[in-house]
Amino acid sequence: QVQLGESGGGLVQAGGSLRLSCAASGRTFNRYAMGWFRQVPGKEREFVAAISWIGISTSYADSVKGVFTISRDNTKNTVYLQMNSRKPEDKAVYYCAVGSNSGSVRMGNVEVWGQGTLVTVSS
C-alpha cells in the first residue's frame, strides 16, 4: 500500500513560481508512474502531468506544456510539480496520484490519491 502526502500549496502572484511536492510512503514507489491532477469547484478533476517510474517519460496537458515541469527523486520518494509563469486560472486543488502501471497515469488508472493541496494565484 502506498500513501501520498502533498505539500507546497499556497498563494503566489501571477507570473510567479511555485513547486509542489508529493511524498510517497511504501516500498513499491519506484514501480509506479505518478502524476498530478487539479480540480476547481463545479468542474471535474483534470489531468495536469505524469511521469514514469524511472523518470524519463513525461506527459503534460496542453494547457501547461512548456510551463509546468514534473520530476521525481526516487531517493527521497518524492514527485515534484514546478509551476512557472502562474496564471489566475491555475488556481485549484492539486492532487498527486499513483497509477496502476509503471508507464503513465490517467484518470482511468489512478490507484492512490493524495489529499490535495490548494494553490491560489493572485492577479
Predicted confidence (pLDDT) per residue in 55-92, tens digit: 779 999 999 999 999 999 878 889 999 999 999 999 99
pLDDT of residue 28: 60
- Is residue 29 scored above 60 in pLDDT? no
Spatial contact of 34 and 21, defined as CB atoms under 8 Å apart: no
Q: Comparing 104 with 68, which gets the higher pLDDT?
A: 68
Spatial contact of 88 and 121, defined as CB atoms under 8 Å apart:
yes
> Residue 51: its pLDDT value, please?
94
- CA-nearest of 88, 61, 40 to 70 is 61
